[in-house]
Amino acid sequence: MTADSISSSASTSLILSDAGLDSTLAVTSLDEYGDPREGHVAAERALTLYLNKRELVTLMTLGSQPEMLVLGWLRNQRLVQRVDQVAVIQVDWETGSAAIQTREEIPDLENRLSRKTVTTGCGQGTVFGDLMDDLDKIDLPKTELKQSLIYGLLKALDQHNQIYRRAGAVHGCALCQGTDILHFVEEVGRHNAVDTIAGHMWMNQTAGHDKIFYTTGRLTSEMVIKVAQMGIPILLSRSGVTQMGLELAQRLGVTLVARAKGEHFLLYHGAEQFQFDQPPGRAKQVKHHD
């Protein structure tokens, strides 16, 4: 790590390293005929987080945006309440570590770290503290959503997923406003992708009330909680929904749209804010007579 790789945000005086790495690695494999094929695999790197020299957790990550991943992880774990509480995030791949320094001690840290929930995230996501803490304080806006907007957004998202097309083995998440994609992040696990976007939002003080969050992964309790904590009222996925994910969306007021691909989707929650303004043509049913 050199001094040139350290940057500072003028708005927060947060010192960040700049340690992003390539997301894929070139490899040679053999196809079904035994012929060599040049291609790529998704990177998977271990990054151990240290908060004020206290080891917290090891994340498996592509390593493309590690500083934003760490910042978003801190936010979504509710270990820090404001971005200006964080003084330094320095990633060093030689040691596989991220050193985090805060401007003040984190209250009740040991007790919060002692309560750990292993979630259903790919690669086993982890949430520290009580999973349901402070949920009743979340107040999401009632936001209208049009069917035509979903179709337009899905079409725009087709232009992304570059790492998946190149190497597979990753999930993608996107922060969207209308059909504009503000951030698209691919990661080993969807929980890392959502944390990286949370880091971008926190760093840039981006509000979530008028945004849509898209993920290629399933909508679990962890995904719903994290998106709600980011203040985003609409969650869209091309995958399915778990029971707890649905129950939490109903409790928190998150509009939940899943199995979204092409012109198909399933609206699980938020029908009162939804407009079916562009229904696709139904195939004519052929009646069979005896």
Q: What parts of the chain have a pLDDT lower than 50?
A: 1-11, 117-124, 284-290
Predicted local distance difference test score (pLDDT) of residue 33: 85
Residue 84 near residue 12, CB atoms below 8 Å:
yes
Q: For position 203, what pLDDT does the model report?
A: 93
28, burial (CB in 10 Å: exposed 0-12, middle 13-18, buried 19+): exposed
The three-state DSSP-derived secondary structure of the chain is: CCHHHEEECCCCCCEEECCCCCCEEEEEEECCCCCEEEEEEECCEEEEEEECCEEEEEEEECCCCHHHHHHHHHHHCCCCCCHHHEEEEEEECCCCEEEEEECCCCCCHHHHHHCEEECCCCCCCEEECCCCCCHHHCCCCCCCEEHHHHHHHHHHHCCCCHHHHHHCCCEEEEEEECCEEEEEEEECCHHHHHHHHHHHHHHCCCCCCCCEEEECCCECHHHHHHHHHCCCCEEEECCCECHHHHHHHHHHCCEEEEEEECCEEEEEECHHHEECCCCCCCCCCCCCCC
pLDDT the model gives residue 31: 77
Query: Which residue(s) pair with 42 in the sheet?
Result: 24
Q: Give the distance from CA 25 to its chain's centroid.
A: 23
State the pTM of this model: 0.83
Select from 182, 174, 191 the least CA-distant residue to 77: 191
Give residue for tokens 């009580």: 130
Is-contact 220 190, C-beta < 8 A? no
What would you report as the CA-atom Rg of the chain, rounded to the nearest whole angstrom? 21
Q: So what's the pLDDT on residue 130?
A: 58
Give residue-wise pLDDT tens across range 215-246. Answer: 988 899 889 999 999 999 999 999 999 999 99
**Tell me, what's the pLDDT at 47?**
95
Per-residue pLDDT at 232:
97
Beta strand 54-61 with 45-51 is antiparallel
pLDDT reported for residue 261:
93
Nearest Cα neighbor of 42 from 129, 215, 162, 170 is: 170
Q: What pLDDT shows up at residue 7? A: 46
The type of residue at 6 is: I
Closest C-alpha among 144, 151, 207 to residue 175: 207
